Amino acid sequence: MQPTTHAFPENARKALSDERLQKVLAIAPAGFVNRRKQAADRLPEFEALRDQGRDLKNHVLANLDTYLEAFEAKVTGQGGHVHWCRTDQEARDAILGICRAANAKTVTKGKSMVSEEIGINDYLEANGLTPIETDLGEYIIQLRHEPPSHIIAPAFHLSKKDVEGTFRQAHTDLPPDRVLDDPKVLIAEARTVLRRKFQQADVGITGANLMIAETGSTVIVTNEGNGDLTQILPRVHVVIASIEKIVPTLEDAALVLRLLARSATGQEASAYTTFSTGPRRPGDLDGPEEFHVVLLDNGRSALLGTEFQEVLRCIRCGACMNHCPVYGAVGGHAYGWVYPGPIGSVMQPALLGVKEAGHLPNASTFCGRCEAVCPMRIPLPKMMRHWREKEFEQGLQPAAMRKGLGLWAWFARRPALYHAATRMAVRALGALGRGKGRFAKLPLAQGWTQYRDMPAPEGKTFQQMWAEKKGKR
């Protein structure tokens, strides 16, 4: 997927004038917010669990090599394979290689953000394979050739009417006069169509919410059960996961799972939490004959030891975007690539570079709501600020902004001059604005006055009035 992150302001404008999207955004995130809050309130230990989650992931990152090696040894020892991949290209090639070796034609897929990150669908298609997303939301947007707009609810920007249209276009072998006006019917249709695909598939690709070093297991968490059908029906199960998803033990998985479902959907637990360990065992009547884990780095190890290390604690729950007022205004597509919302504003500059993704860490008011709900207590605003520092160092910010702030800072470092200059400015502005008490237009402030009035200053600075008062006393 070609990123359009550099065009965030245009993307945002488009999203803001998209009435259908605005309708969804007015309701959906609030639903997530309420459900998360209820779930968190119901568990007295929730905040303490967040502390432990943070500490656990810090410990994992400080021992990442040990845990990855232990994981690998367990996977291999149980007849599975681990493929280490430095880049997205290496991961695509590894997966294609597995598919080729299996003589695969049809590949079913469970929901996986990392698979979006490496753009595996396009790659498999270009190489003559047919990848099929099986998570209902992902399936819908795959049919529409759209990227996901949310990491938990990829199609939440669409209405049932949109879905109906998409299904009529795609499922041409079904009677055109069938009635498709209810989500139930739409879901049933997708279920039937996808059942056939599950049976045809030679390879099933899933992501992993967690990997467990102790046992060599990978874990997926879903509500639909598609991830399970994806891995038990085809001959080959490929797990694509990034290196930071590892936790030490089954007990540690329990900790993360308590945080994940509550933060993501407000559920106590998702319907299906599945631990997969190696290929099928002798005597098993079902399950994959091959088990592959494609371990992706793609720039993550380079974040270790930097000011961005903490972002690697992320468990991709989506709470930060559900609570983000910027995401709530523009939705996921405006972010122009795989990861939207605050986590995207920190991850995308790391994965795409600040040149491509520099807007995202700037498009934040630092309101701090994301950090306040992040189950892993990732200081997202602080990290966005660090990206701004990188941009500043590289001189990537707009010249006018730099100049304006530079001038401001120059005065602010010189208190006497500062007070004299502000006195003058305020007197002039105050005199101009006295008639109405505000400005509808103001030179150099179009960004402000385009949408709102600028209240006029009172006419004197506080410092000036204070000095006058003190003089009198």
Partner 1 sequence: MAEKHPAPRVGLFVTCLVDLFRPTVGFAAVKLLEDAGCTVEVPSAQTCCGQPAFNSGDRRTAQELARNTIAAFEGFDYVVVPSGSCGGQIKKHYPELLADDPAWAARAQRLSARTYELVSFLADVLGMTDTGARYDGTVTYHDSCSGLRELGVKEQPRRLLASVEGLTLNELPGAEVCCGFGGTFCVKYPDVSNRMVEAKTADIQGTQADTLLAGDMGCLLNMAGKLKREGSAIRVRHVAEVLAGVTDTPPIGEKA
Partner 2 sequence: MADTSSARAQILGGIRKALGSAEGSDEARKRLAVHPRNLVPARAQLPQDQQVDLFVAMATEVAATVERLPALGDVPRAVAEYLAGLNLPAEIRVAPDAALDAIPWNERPTLTVSKGRARDSDGASVTGAFAGVAETGSLMLLSGAERPTTLNFLPDTHIVVLTRSQVVGTMEDAWDRLRGLGVAGTMPRTVNFITGPSRTGDIEMRIELGAHGPRRLHILLVED
Positions in 148-167 near partner 2 (CB under 8 A): 153-156, 158-160, 163
Residue 345, SS3? Answer: helix
Between 83 and 359, name the residue whose CB sits nearer to partner 1: 359
Nearest to 325 by CA among 1, 14, 101, 25: 25
Least distance (Å) from partner 2 to the CB of residue 181?
Answer: 12
Contact string (CB under 8 A) for partner 1, positions 346-385, x = contact: ----------------xxxxxxxx-xx------------x
Between 32 and 339, name the residue whose CB sits nearer to partner 2: 32
Q: Say how many C-beta atoms besides its own lie within 10 A of residue 186's C-beta.
A: 18
Contacts from 37-43 at CB under 8 Å and sequence distance 24+? 37/266, 38/266, 39/261, 39/262, 39/266, 39/267, 39/268, 40/262, 40/263, 42/268, 43/258, 43/262
| Binds 215: which of partner 1, ligand SF4, partner 2, none (CB < 5-8 Å by kind) | partner 2
CA 90, 142, 229 angle in degrees (round to 5)?
80
Position 41 contacts partner 2 (CB under 8 A):
no
Position 320 contacts ligand SF4 (CB under 6 A):
yes
What's the helix, strand, coil split of the chain in %, to 5?
55, 10, 35
Pick from 405, 407, 428, 432: which binds partner 1 (CB under 8 A)?
405
Nearest to 18 by CA among 10, 30, 29: 10
CB 134 within 8 A of CB 109: yes
Between 18 and 297, name the residue whose CB sits nearer to partner 2: 297
For residue 181, give the DSSP letter: -
Position 422 contacts partner 1 (CB under 8 A):
yes
CB 92 within 8 A of CB 119: yes
| Binds 124: which of partner 1, partner 2, ligand SF4, none (CB < 5-8 Å by kind) | none
CA distance 442 to 34: 41
Which residues within the stretch 325-344 sit at the binding site for partner 2 (CB under 8 A)? none
Between 346 and 456, name the residue whose CB sits nearer to ligand SF4: 346
Least distance (Å) from partner 2 to the CB of residue 358?
Answer: 24
Position 235 contacts partner 2 (CB under 8 A):
no
Between 186 and 456, name the residue whose CB sits nearer to partner 2: 186
Position 37 contacts partner 1 (CB under 8 A):
no
| Binds 159: which of partner 2, ligand SF4, partner 1, none (CB < 5-8 Å by kind) | partner 2
Q: What sign for the dihedral angle of Cα 330, 332, 335, 340?
A: positive
DSSP 43-64: -TTHHHHHHHHHHHHHHHHHTH
Nearest to 278 by CA among 269, 266, 287: 287
CA distance 27 to 323: 12
| Binds 343: which of partner 1, ligand SF4, partner 2, none (CB < 5-8 Å by kind) | ligand SF4
- Which spans of this chain sit near ligand SF4 (rule: CB under 6 A)? 263, 314-320, 343, 374-376, 378, 380
- Using CB under 8 A as the criterion, which residues of the chain lie in contact with partner 1 when the complex forms? 9, 12-13, 16, 325-326, 329-330, 362-369, 371-372, 385, 387-393, 397-398, 401, 405-406, 408-409, 411-413, 415, 418-419, 422, 425-426, 434-438, 440, 445, 447-448, 450-458, 460-463, 465-467
